[in-house]
Structure 1
Amino acid sequence: MNCNRKQKGGFKVKKFILILVVLSTLIILAACGGETEEQAEDSVWSQIEESGEIVVGTAGTLYPASYYPEGSDELTGYNVEVFREIAERLGVDIKFETLGFDAMLSALQSGRVDIIQAGPREASRDKFAFSEPVKYSFATMIVRADDLSGIHTLEDLKGKRAGGAATTVYSDIARKYGAEVVTYGNVTNDAYLRDVHNGRTDVVINDYYLQSLAIQAFPEFNITLHPDLRFHPTTNNVVMQKDATVLLEKINEIIADMKEDGTLTKISEEFFGGLDVSKEPEEEVIEIEGIE
């Protein structure tokens, strides 16, 4: 009887020890799994922190957002100076890669650049992370000044030729209303505007603030902002890889601070003729169904 009791007791002890071992193993595996996931989420910021440098994709040809002033090799513009301020507050150096818009998302996805600026769309939201907005705006049109290129409503875009990049929301709007999109590479504003002036294209749909300043640089062209059409409210955000959660948190904190301390307003007023693009516009803007 005593032997049996000892055997039973020993079995219970061994069973208890086995359970403890299994539980301990599960806890260790869970902890390791958590660390692996966290490391994956931190990898983008970890690389930036380790190198001491953040790589930014930007156009370099789009006045006043990202451009080289005449006679200068120093990149500047609203987007550029916002990036510089973010890098400074992150405590890292900054390196710019000039890219066409259509190449920016692929460069971001491949890791060639760490961040860009763009507006969120449903397809890109699934692949990338977007910060809080650093710019609010809406779309309008540049048309010929003498006849508004025959465009009085959005429906009048049918059959017109619209200059633009292949994958922008502005080209999507042109196509939605039946325009033919004439695509360009990473060219400067004058190429788009000259083509409207000389009749190669009829219209350029783009950001209101960018276009209102761009046409001022070319008073000799027969072009104007459409006086009546304001549509498709947009935002511009800092974009990064989907798993860059630490970087996203840091940049959102910085953007909030820049709004609160007036830095975004100051940069905006410098590049947008005293206007503050960091705040939502008060104008009535037409929403376009089916366009993100």
Structure 2
Amino acid sequence: MKKWLVMLSFIAIVCLLAACGQDDEQQNASEELNAEKWEEIQDKGVIVAGTSGTLVGASTYDDDNNLTGYDVEIMREVADRLGLNVEFEIMGIDSMQSAIKSDRIDVAVNDIEATDLRKEDFAFSDPYKYSYSTMVVRKEDNSGIESLEDLEDKRAGGGATTIYSQIAEHYGAEVVTYGNAPNEAYLSDVNNGNTDVVVNDYYLSKFGVASFPEFDIHLHPTLKFHPTEQAIMMDHDAETLQQKINEVLAEMREDGTLSELAIEFYEEDASQKTEEEVEEIEGLDL
């Protein structure tokens, strides 16, 4: 009887060890899968980032035609601290999601809001910018807009897939879409009456308006809504890459680099949460 008990115990231990071995193999395989994008980037020594080059303050060209901006310089610093070079692919915001899925780019960095809906399809870094939404309107009459409800039947310039266009549509505006157009195209249309409003990020709007003093436009004086967090977007499988980027962003926050870059490009510390009273929008699936 004792021999049988010893043999059964031995068999149970063997089975348990075998099961543990299988679990370890599955875990290792999973870790290899999650690290695949990071290893691929390391092998090349280059991380490819999609950006538009059309967002004043975030991703734009300087007077010498060099790509720069808050998002661009953050990405350069992240790459440098990871021991990588960075190459930027210029494309419209509407193309960035498909470019990540097709492996044309590794990440997208273009003042992209990390919403719950987007997180279903993509991974995001920790936030490097905090902001809220506002509107660019005509100075003389605020384009007839004194509340979000006044967006109904107005013409709003914007990208087809942006959160700002979704907000405008939510309140009944007709969205006039553009390709990868510069700020001047959007703001000029508000100025000349082709559109009534541009719903957009506070910092981008502030610097966009300041860049074209000849236009009869300004930031809406009272409307502040939809607080936002901007982050670097990548594929869900890029878990190791996401971790590495988050580690570097934490270093940059700790040593003040994020604040320095934000003040350089926005004249305010956009890396910290705003103290403004910002209206939340209910019933919008973002």
- Give the TM-score taking structure 1 as reference length: 0.91
Deviation for aligned residue 1:123: 2.1
Amino acid across the alignment from 2:75: F
Amino acid across the alignment from 1:125: K
- For the pair 1:202 / 2:202, whether they are aligned, the reply is no
Amino acid across the alignment from 1:248: Q
- For the pair 1:92 / 2:84, whether they are aligned, the reply is yes
Q: Which residue does the alignment assign to 2:244?
A: 250
Q: Which residue does the alignment assign to 2:37?
A: 44
SS of residue matched to 1:62: coil
SS of residue matched to 1:133: coil
Change (3 A) 1:287 1:16: closer
Q: Which residue does the alignment assign to 1:284?
A: 277
2:70 to 68, 78, 83: 78
Alignment gaps of 5+ in structure 2: none
Deviation for aligned residue 1:252: 1.3
Amino acid across the alignment from 1:66: S
2:52 to 45, 52, 59: 59
Amino acid across the alignment from 1:107: A
Amino acid across the alignment from 1:275: E
Select the structure of larger CA radius of gyration: 1
Deviation for aligned residue 1:200: 0.7
Task: Kindly report the root-mean-square deviation, in angstroms, between the aligned alpha carbons of the 2 structures.
Answer: 1.8
Change (3 A) 1:13 1:262: closer
Alignment gaps of 5+ in structure 1: none
1: CA distance, partners of 2:91 / 2:242: 22
Q: Which residue does the alignment assign to 1:114?
A: 106
1: CA distance, partners of 2:64 / 2:31: 47
SS of residue matched to 2:67: coil
Deviation for aligned residue 1:134: 0.4
Deviation for aligned residue 1:24: 4.5
1: CA distance, partners of 2:70 / 2:216: 27
Q: Which residue does the alignment assign to 1:224?
A: 218
2: CA distance, partners of 1:138 / 1:18: 63
2: CA distance, partners of 1:116 / 1:248: 12
2: CA distance, partners of 1:104 / 1:34: 31
Deviations 1:83-135 (A, max 9, x none): 00000111111111111111111111222111113212222111211221100
1: CA distance, partners of 2:251 / 2:5: 61
1:142 to 122, 136, 144: 136
2: CA distance, partners of 1:149 / 1:257: 44
